[in-house]
Every structure is written in structure tokens, then in C-alpha cells.
Amino acid sequence: MTTASLTLQEQHWKYLQEILVRTDGAERAAYVLCGLATIDADPWDGQPHHKFISYEAIPVPEEEIVSSSAEHITWKTDSLVHALKTAQAKDLTVAIFHSHPGGLEKFSAQDDANEPDLIELAQNRNGSDTKLLSVILTPLRKLVGRLWINQQEFISLQMIRVVGESIRLHYPNRGQGVSSPAFQRQALAFGEALNQDLSMLRVGVIGCGGTGSAIAMLLPKMAIRQIALFDKDIVEESNLNRLHGATLDDARAQRPKVEVIKRVLTELGLGIEVRTYQSWVGETECRQALKACDILFCCTDDHTGRLMLNRFAYYYATPIFDMGLAVEISHKETAEIKALDGRITVLVPAPGHACLLCREVINPVIARDETLKRSNPTEYERQKAEAYVIGEGNPSPAVVLFTTEVAIMAMEELVHRLQGFRGEDGMAAHRVRKFHLTTDRKPAAIYNLNCPVCGNTGAEWWGRGDVIPFLNVVG
């Protein structure tokens, strides 16, 4: 059985509210053109999944509205035909949004009668494989949607996500669940809805070292049940000072990090479903799982992987919490810490939010060298010997106290964006904790309007989802 969901960029969500919620109490309508992430087999339930992503919001022109009241809206189809034409040209899907001013949180009999005609029009115009989304908005800002396959068949959307400065989830019976005894204390602090929201999320952890293993250990303790782990490396003795869950026996047996962490999470007995991918995150075998995730934690020090994920966040409107730890040691005979910085950067498709390239978190030269090492090790070693590439040098310092706290910083940021416990100004797109100075800072970035990822030239790809080549990158 195929399932479906929708992700709305927050900028589109705000615009839709302006269009659809009117003081006259009458219904209004709008179109949203959507990109698509096709998931052939969901990692957790094995079912095909259509994950739509908002690309552009378009109002139904006032002059096309024939009649409108608190219980219905009728408009000419000229604008729908135009939206379908645009969608076909750009390989997008049309979603029709309309309001229910009376508060009805389900599709009305009038909706059920009218929408088969709309999908018939869409398929006559764009082809028999064309699908049509329909979404209703209530005065309480609740969203309910469905995907029309043909005139007789539709699929209810299992989830509608709103992604931007905050993260809001809309799904059936939200807020009506009761936490299990394991999470009741958390519900006392944040409310039942947060526990339910967290339990609905599918979360990926990219890099299962010091910060990644710490994040992974936190996820089930926060009520997250569906987890994907990505890391190609095995456990080594040098990891044991910071790799949560790993033992000396794991290092001696050279067990994969992802399998060690899966074992520990499963043994908690909290109903956790863990999927593991012992691959570099940029490999094609990881794409389906990445697309299936609602949230990604990037805990890798790999610049090439970060470069790919930097684009992924915008194409698929998937929040990525990127983290890092930088330790600078003096060259004196007795080592002294000169700087000890933990960093959290949140990637979302939102105007004015600088990406990892603009913040200079990613070094394109190092990314180039990593790609060469992965694709042609012999040539990499030759260029390294001739000083054309940057050598690995000494291993970076790492202390479990600080890798773990960086993971906690990232989890706090996720919880705030879901629940808002820090207050209206509590979000931080880029936070640096200077452990040696006991201060937090929010460094500004030089926002590049021409950035091909987060700037105006990149915005045309926000929400496009699947394109060929993947993420519009050749090679």
C-alpha cells in the first residue's frame, strides 16, 4: 500500500494563512506547486511513499471566485489549468488548498463531490498518471490532506510538516495520545504533544562517532522510535573514549559502528526500530533512507558529505542539524587549550538563512581532495606526495565531555523548534558554545545573495525534491 505526506516550507505556510484566513468568514482557495521525493520502499514499513514538498504558493484570483460562503467555494478553472500547465513544464504536482472557516477538521460532502471532477480535469490536461493533492486549513491552523490517484481513489496524507524557523507537525489524533510510563516525566515538562510528535519522527544520524553516538543514545530517551544510522567505519580502540555504547570487544572484533549502536538501542526495550547503512552517506544506497527521514543530524567531519547534505536540506526541505567540535591546542611543551568550540548550525530552506558554504563550515578544497581519495586513491597519494592535496596530518583532539554536550545542544535545538520552550527568540540558526570561556555566541554570516544553494539563485531549487541528476550535481 502506497503512503503519502507533505512538507510545507514555512514561508509558503505563512503566505497561505494570509490568503486563506479572511475576516469575512468565507472560504478561500489557493494552489501550491509541489516537488516530490519518491521512496520506493520506506525503511521502516517497507511501503512505497510519496513525499511532496511545497515549491510555490499561488492564490486563486479573486475575479475567478464565482461564489463563496462559510461552507463552500466555487471558482472558475482557468487558474487551475494554468497551474497544471506550469506543473507539467516543471515536473511538479498541484496541491489545492482551501479553508474551512467553520472549523470542520475533515473533508466535507461538498469536497467529496467536487474533487473527483478536479482530478479528472488534471488527468485530462496532464496525463493519466497525474496526481492531485487536496488540503484543508481550519481556523485553528490545523491541516488535513489527501492525494487523489484517480476519480475513485485517494490516499489520506499520513503527515503534513511545516518546516522553517519552527517545525510543526499535523497528523491524525495529534495531542490525543498518552505517553508510556517511560516518558511521563518528560510529558510533565513539555506536554503530551511533544512526546507524540517525537514518536512520529523518522530521524537519521550521519556519522556515528563521538557526537553521532551521543545523539543516537539520546533519541530513544526522548521518545523517538524510528532511527537510521549512517557510517561506513568500524570501531577502533582510539574511539572508545567517546563512542557511546562501544566496548573493547567491539574494537577487537572490528564491528561496524552502526551495528554496535543499533545493538545498544535495541537492548533498551523501548520499541526502537533502527535501520543501519554501513556506507558513506553520499552513496546511492543511502538516498532512499535519507529521503524518508523527517530530521537529519549531521555528525560527520567529512566535507564532501556535508557538501551533499547542504544541498539536500534545501531540495527536500529536510531540517539538518549540523554539528562540530573544534579544539585548538598550543604548541608549548605542555599542551594548553587555546580554543574549545562546539557548534550547531541548522539548515532549512528559509530566506536569509546562510548555508554551510556561506558560513565557511565546508572547505571546498578539502571536499575536492576527499572526493579524489574516495574515487582514485592512487592518484590521491601521488598528489599528496607532491603537495597538491591537503594531507591528513595528526588526528584531531576529541573529549567525550564536549562531543556529548554538542549532541545535547543539537537535541535542545530540535526540541525548541518543535515545542518553543526557550520563548519567541530562542531559536539559533548558528550557535557556537565556547566551552573554555563558558559563553554562547550566535555569529552572523555574510549572506551571499548569489549562493547556488541558499541565495536567490539557489531558491529556484528549494522544494524540488527528486531531479536528475540527484541534487542537480553532475559527476
> pLDDT-derived band of residue 383, with 50, 70 and 90 as boundaries?
low
The answer to whether residues 226 and 107 belong to one domain is no
| Residue 200 belongs to some domain of the structure | yes
Q: Which helix (H) or strand (E) holds 113?
A: helix 109-126
> Is residue 36 a contact partner of residue 50, using CB atoms and an 8 Å limit?
yes
The answer to whether residues 257 and 208 belong to one domain is yes
> pLDDT-derived band of residue 448, with 50, 70 and 90 as boundaries?
confident
Return the pLDDT at 392: 52
Cell of 408: 545535547
DSSP state of 256: B
Instruction: Name the more confident of 397 and 10.
Output: 10
The answer to whether residues 142 and 232 belong to one domain is no
- What are φ and ψ of residue 13, in 5° steps? -60, -45
Report CA-CA distances (Å) from 188 to 183, 184, 409. 9, 6, 21
- The 10s digit of each residue's pLDDT in 331-362 is 777 778 888 899 999 999 998 889 999 999 98
> Is residue 39 a contact partner of residue 292, using CB atoms and an 8 Å limit?
yes
The answer to whether residues 461 and 313 belong to one domain is yes
Neighbours of 218 (CB within 10 A): 18
| Residue 233 belongs to some domain of the structure | yes
| Residue 174 belongs to some domain of the structure | no
The answer to whether residues 144 and 192 belong to one domain is no
> Is residue 347 a contact partner of residue 314, using CB atoms and an 8 Å limit?
yes
Among 135, 163, 191, where does a domain finish? 163
Distance between CA atoms of 51 and 290, rounded to whole angstroms?
12
H-only helix segments in 222-272? 248-252, 257-267
Is 0.75 topped by the overall pTM? yes
Indicate if the pLDDT at residue 230 is higher than 90.
yes
Indicate if the pLDDT at residue 111 is higher than 70.
yes
Q: Any idea what the CATH number is for the domain that residue 264 is in?
A: 3.40.50.720
The answer to whether residues 151 and 191 belong to one domain is no
DSSP state of 74: E
- The 10s digit of each residue's pLDDT in 395-444 is 666 789 999 999 999 999 999 999 999 998 899 999 999 998 999 999 88
- Count H helices and E strands in the chain, helices first: 13, 19
Return the pLDDT at 390: 47
The answer to whether residues 157 and 185 belong to one domain is no
Return the pLDDT at 6: 98
Nearest Cα to 96, choosing from 387, 107, 104?
A: 107
The answer to whether residues 150 and 185 belong to one domain is no
| Residue 376 belongs to some domain of the structure | yes
**Which are the contacts of 386, defined by CB distance < 8 A and separation ≥ 6?**
none
Return the pLDDT at 382: 52
- Total domains, the chain: 2
**Helix, strand or coil, per DSSP, at residue 340:** strand
Q: Any idea what the CATH number is for the domain that residue 39 is in?
A: 3.40.140.10
Task: Identify residue 299 by its one-letter amino acid code.
Answer: C
- The 10s digit of each residue's pLDDT in 71-103 is 889 999 999 999 999 999 999 999 999 999 999
Domain residue limits at 144 = 3-163
| Residue 175 belongs to some domain of the structure | no
